[in-house]
Amino acid sequence: MIDINDIVFIPWDESKRLEIIGGLGPVRTWTEAQGRQTFGEDRDGVKPKRCRVMRGADGDLVGVAAYGTNDHHPAYLYAYVEVAEKYRRRGVGKRAFAEVCRLAGHDGRDFDTKYLLDTPAHRFAEAMGFFRIQLVREPIVDVGALPDRDYGVTEYEPAKEEVPDDAVEAWGRFYEATHTWSPPRERDLAIWREDFFSVRAGRFFEVRVAGKVVGVGFLNDSFSDDPQEDPHPIFAGCSVDPADPEGPAIVTAMLKAAAVYSEDGRLRIEMDESNRATVEAVEPAVVYEAPAADIAANARLA
Ligand SMILES: CC(C)(COP(=O)(O)OP(=O)(O)OC[C@H]1O[C@@H](n2cnc3c(N)ncnc32)[C@H](O)[C@@H]1OP(=O)(O)O)[C@@H](O)C(=O)NCCC(=O)NCCS
């Protein structure tokens, strides 16, 4: 049993990371993997972050309550709460979110969060007052079934060091075009660069026409800790202008380049509804459409 009033909120201690992550267990979903990126020491300044480890009176790990900031959605603070399995459905998550709200008290921004449809996280977010803004699908696509396209694709690795400035800016423009609900704050190349490439090292692909970047994409390893679960690398990208008539062909060219890194030529595609060119490009080759529980939604507080 746990008495909510006994829970203590302790600032993150990096030297205890392994114990805390071990106590929570491996991530089960990519939204959890993304949420855990809020774990870490507090940060002030342009990208504030707070993280509290919840422990019971006996020191047992109960969960983590955190928020971070992200230049993808700078109008919001990204809230993430995780409760150890044995303590769930006892009001701990609710208590944790109250603490997240308290910690953010002076910031003035609302929260957003991300969850998979029809999961406890979805129900929990709704119970906390979040409503849905945008859906992200993640189908598995047989890239070999797509036609070859005549666009040259350049590839960078490691992404962080080598990607040219205009490609980073192109990603920013694409991002703005597909996130009108949460426009990025005034652009600064250093911020884009840090934000796009600090999350996890991946491969970066770009397509140029007459020297201008017209397509951008990332390829990352499977988010799952368990390679049996879904071994497919994850591609996320689009034509810089999602409405570009050549967009689907540009995306297809990047997928062909990325599929080389997949053992069976299949990729998992992370795409939200607004990535129109990507949706159109992959549709004919979808071999697995995730059930609702694998579809993520961005949500924000009313
Ligand atoms: C989502 C999570 C944090 C909920 O923690 P919790 O301690 O179980 O949540 P609470 O007991 O405080 O639940 C508060 C309300 O959320 C809703 N809720 C939470 N879990 C639910 C579930 N499994 N099914 C239906 N409703 C649920 C209910 O409305 C609940 O109120 P009630 O118990 O009075 O009905 C927990 O399941 C978790 O850690 N999941 C993995 C991490 C994650 O996905 N976090 C989501 C970030 S938005």
* C-alpha to C-alpha distance for 17 and 31, rounded to whole angstroms: 19
Give 74 or 59, the one with higher predicted confidence: 59
Distance CA 194, CA 223 (A): 20
CA–CA distance, 68 with 107 (Å, rounded to integer): 12
Domains recognised in the chain with CATH numbers: 4-128 (3.40.630.30), 140-291 (3.40.630)
Per-residue pLDDT tens over the stretch 66-78: 999 876 677 889 9
**So what's the pLDDT on residue 222?**
66
User: How many other C-beta atoms lie within 10 A of the C-beta of residue 160?
Assistant: 15
Note the pLDDT tens digit of each residue in 136-171. Answer: 788 999 999 999 999 999 999 766 678 898 998 898
Q: CA–CA separation, 272 vs 109, rounded Å?
A: 24
| pLDDT tens profile 247-298 | 999 999 999 999 999 999 999 998 888 889 999 999 999 999 877 666 777 7
**121 ligand 1 Cβ < 6 A:** yes
Confidence grade of residue 64 (pLDDT, cut at 50, 70, 90): very high
Structure-token match 């945008």, residue found: 134
Which residue minimizes the CA distance to atom 17 of ligand 1? 124
- Ligand 1 centre to CA of 204 (Å) is 36
pLDDT tens for 178-226 read 777 777 666 677 877 776 665 555 789 999 999 999 999 989 876 555 5
- Strands 130-137 vs 8-11: parallel, antiparallel or unpaired: unpaired
- The confidence score (pLDDT) of residue 90 equals 96
| DSSP-assigned letters across all residues of 104-147 | TTTT-PEEEEEEETTSHHHHHHHHTTEEEEEEEE--EEEGGGSP
Please confirm whether the linkage preceding 158 is cis (ω < 30° from 0). Answer: yes
pLDDT: is 271 or 81 the higher one?
A: 81
142 alpha carbon – ligand 1 mean position (Å)? 36
CA distance 68 to 91: 23
In tens, the pLDDT along 88-142 reads 999 999 999 999 999 998 888 889 999 988 899 999 999 999 988 878 788 999 9
- With a pLDDT cut of 90, the percent of the chain lying above it is 60
pTM of the model: 0.71
Residue 16: pLDDT over 90: yes
What values do phi and psi take at 253, rounded to 5? -60, -40
For ligand 1, what atom is nearest to the CA of residue 28? Answer: 41
88 lines ligand 1 (CB under 6 A): yes
Backbone angles phi, psi at 296, to 5 degrees: -95, 150
Sheet holding 296-301, edge to edge: 8-11, 50-55, 61-68, 76-83, 110-116, 296-301, 130-137, 271-272
The best mutation among 38, 54, 61, 89 to test binding of ligand 1, ranked by most ligand atoms within 8 Å of the C-beta, falls on 89
- The rounded Å distance from CA 114 to ligand 1 centre is 14
